[in-house]
Structure 1
Amino acid sequence: MEKGLFIMRLEPFDYVYPSAVREEIKQFIEILAPPMTEETARLHPELLKQADVIFSGWSGPRLDESFLETAEKLKVLFYAAGSVKPIVTDAVWKRNIKITTAVRANAIPVIEFTLSQVLFCLKNGWQYVRQVKRDKMFPEKPFPIAGSFQSTVGLISLSTVGRGVAEQLKRFDIEVLAYDPFVNKKEAERLGVTLCSLEQVFQQSDVVSLHTPLLGETRGMIRGEHFAMMNQHASLINTARGAIIRQSEMIRVLTERTDITAVLDVTDPEPPAVDSPLYQMENVVLTPHLAGSEGAECGRMGMYMLEELKRYVSGERLKWQVNPENLRIQA
């Protein structure tokens, strides 16, 4: 039987790897020690040297040269979280270590959250919520309501989450636009989206949903001018990363364009500074990075990794294995 360790942030460990999942893992792998953080693991090289596999999650170990020189037997890391970009280095590929991730499992609640907000925003829901609270009466519905019939939704980046949202939107009578310079026309057709420029997404959409990974080239890519060109009563949803938007420019435009609504599950910094105007702006909806896996939802990620383990021990191809090529689309 191969040997393994659990290495990740300890606070969410019991949610990510529920007891039933842990017990089943132990049927296939000899677990060498109780769960530990990366810092604790580096203090116990005698354990790392024995590990054939590592089960990880949020705040997992960075797989750099020094770590892998110690974990010399490591064959596979099961990452029960989202993108592995924070932990993977070139040393992983040089050593042919398999990395598999629950990014698709973690994407499911983000896709669900996004879909709920897209449909609510298409009904001008947040505009009516704030008007009812302000006026203490039901309005005469003066806003033009797009609804989910022949309206337009724009997706910025067809990442794992972006693709999932596109798949969900196929069920509705909605035109879906997408900006992603790495996706070709054939793939776009399969997803049921029309590729266009970033500017066209903002100019033509009733709702814009942001799913771009935070990279050097995407930091600050959404500027004030993009908000300024949005349709009347349009909405933007951000479940990606706050730093993709130039926040000060967004605030300036939203102060002038009070018809626009921004639903922000992420900000930069996160949470916003205590004196941030975002807390006071009526046309900004703030949620506390809620879209991803929370509470019992986290157990889906551990379950995905258990299923991957079963494939691994039976010699099957891993379903969620990461390589340098597919790593790009992970948000």
Structure 2
Amino acid sequence: MLSKIVVVESVELKSHMLMESVGKIEFGNASSTYTDEDELIELIEDADAIVITSRGRFTKRVISAARNLRIIAKCGALPNNVDIKTATELGIPVTWTPGSNAASVAEHAVTMIMNVLKLVPKTMAGLKKGKWHTEEDKANELMGKTVGIVGFGQAGSYLTKFLKPYEVEMLVYDPYVSKEKIDLAGARKVDLEVLLTNSDVVTLHCHMCEETHHMINKDSLKFMKENAFLVNTARGGLIDETALYEALTNKWIAGAGLDVFEVEPASKDNPLFTLDNILITPHMAGWTKEALIREAKGASDEVVRVLKGELPLNVVNPDYVNFNKKIN
């Protein structure tokens, strides 16, 4: 009997179809956000393997209901929407595709930095209403500015390469990366307060975890310059959106660019969306044709390995093997 493989959200069909060699592939509803546990359980309860994105929340109840599940393969960055503890205890490997969208995310960060510095959100909205540039609409150059990079993983590393032609000073905060590695990238390792205080642009590229949740809050926003901009292409939960709204409304900082939000899909009623000093995109930083091919292929390769009885390569929870032995 063929294994059942469920692709919850299709990102690149040709790469997904590589899994046909080991099972029958079924696809989720493209219009569903899968925020309802029962809907998600109905989709995956008899699956042997699932391929996921950031869509849907794979809670203890959802994972436990999928009694045949042998792998959860995430396309893209580390899965913040999967109960890793439950998957581990059930002997299920959770994989990801590190670096597959790093270049795309870094490019998006540069795009957002440029757009907020050039006041594109405000002036574009004004032009549509018949307004021309005014004395107060003076944009900014990136050349020679100080850019603070929070998180020096693959996207943060790529960003340093893209920024070099602009002759910026690059400050990096990442307690888990050596000074030597940051020095080699042409940047300077500093603590978070120094980065926030001195940067003209602060761009976030770190993982979402208990330690980083709301790392940008009311207190940290007050460290930033009044003419500074904040960009987030990482995870929405890194920023306290209520505090950011207050900061943007009261001009504690000049503006922001957000590709990610605390609740996704973001509601059209999000108060931030009413402001003219913010640029917003719907979690698009890694959603490029090229990155999605790499992500889908990487996830498909992991599924093929596991369903063939081989070990996966990029595993979030390597301890799953200990529980897997107990279950078997």
TM range (shorter): 0.7 to 0.9
Conserved in 2, the CA contact under 8 Å of 1:132 and 1:139?
A: no
State the match for 1:240 in structure 2: 234
Contact residue 233 and residue 258 of structure 2 kept, 8 A: yes
- Could you tell me whether the CA contact under 8 Å between 1:64 and 1:92 is conserved in 2? no
Cα pair distance change 1:166/1:314, threshold 3 Å: farther
8 A Cα contact 1:177 1:196, kept in partner: yes
Equivalence for 1:39? 41
Larger mean Cα displacement after TM superposition, 169-178 or 315-324: 315-324
Relative to structure 1, is the Cα distance of residues 118 and 303 closer, same or farther in structure 2, using a 3 angstrom cutoff?
same
Distance 1:240 1:23 in 2: 29
Per the TM alignment, residue 260 of structure 1 is displaced from its structure 2 partner at its CA by 0.3
Structure 1 CA distance, aligned partners of 2:50 and 2:99?
19
Distance across 1 between alignment mates of 2:65 and 2:268: 38
Shift of 1:293: 1.6
Percent sequence identity is 23
User: Do the aligned residues in 2 keep the contact of 1:264 with 1:287 (CA within 8 Å)?
Assistant: yes
* Structure-2 residue corresponding to 1:82: 77
Residue of structure 2 aligned with 1:217, choices 200, 208, 211? 211
Q: Quote the Cα distance in structure 2 between the aligned partners of 1:198 and 1:116.
A: 23
Say if 1:265 and 1:287, in contact at 8 Å, map to a contact too: yes
Which structure 1 residue ranges, 5 or more long, are not aligned?
Answer: 326-331
CA distance in structure 2 between the partners assigned to 1:54 and 1:158 by the alignment: 30
Higher relative contact order (CA 8 A, sep 6+): 2
Partner secondary structure for residue 26 of structure 2: coil
What is the 5 A alignment of 1:156-235? 156-235=150-229
Aligned 1:54-73 pairs, distance under 5 A: 54-57=50-53, 58-59=55-56, 67=64, 70-71=67-68
Matches within 5 A, 1:1-331: 4-9=3-8, 12-13=9-10, 16-18=11-13, 20-27=14-21, 29-31=22-24, 34-35=26-27, 39-40=41-42, 43-44=45-46, 51=48, 54-57=50-53, 58-59=55-56, 67=64, 70-71=67-68, 74=70, 77-87=72-82, 89-90=84-85, 98-123=93-118, 125-126=120-121, 129=124, 136-139=131-134, 143=138, 145-148=140-143, 150-257=144-251, 260-270=254-264, 271-272=266-267, 274=269, 276=271, 278-293=272-287, 298-306=292-300, 320-322=314-316
Displacement of 1:154: 0.6
Amino acid of the residue matched to residue 183 of structure 2?
E
Change (3 A) 1:167 1:8: same
**CA contact 1:238–1:264 (8 Å) conserved in 2:** yes
Give the Cα–Cα distance (whole angstroms) in 1 for the partners of residues 87 and 255 of structure 2.
43
Give the C-alpha shift of residue 131 in structure 1: 6.8
CA separation of 1:140/1:155 partners in 2, compared to 1, >3 Å: closer, same or farther?
same
Find the aligned partners of 1:207 and 1:129 in 2 and give their Cα distance. Answer: 21
Unaligned runs of 5+ in 2: 29-38, 320-328
Instruction: Mark the CA change 1:224 to 1:67 in structure 2 (over 3 Å): closer, same or farther.
Output: closer
Counterpart AA for 1:181? P
Residues 111-165 of structure 1, C-alpha deviation per residue, up to 9 Å, x if partnerless? 22112122344455556556766883345687473423x3211111224433332
Shift of 1:281: 2.2
Distance 1:129 1:66, change over 3 A: closer
Contact 2:148 / 2:196 at 8 angstroms: preserved in 1? yes
Length, aligned pairs only: 307
- The amino acid that maps onto 1:7 is V
How has the CA–CA distance of structure 1 residues 323 and 171 changed in structure 2, closer, same or farther, with 3 Å as cutoff?
Answer: farther
Moved more, 164-173 or 179-188: 164-173
Q: TM-score, structure 1 length as denominator?
A: 0.72
CA drift of 1:88 comes to 5.3
RMSD: 4.1
1:231 Cα offset (Å): 3.0
- 8 Å CA contact retained: 2:40, 2:62: no
When residues 108 and 5 of structure 1 are mapped into structure 2, their CA distance, relative to the original with a 3 A threshold, is farther
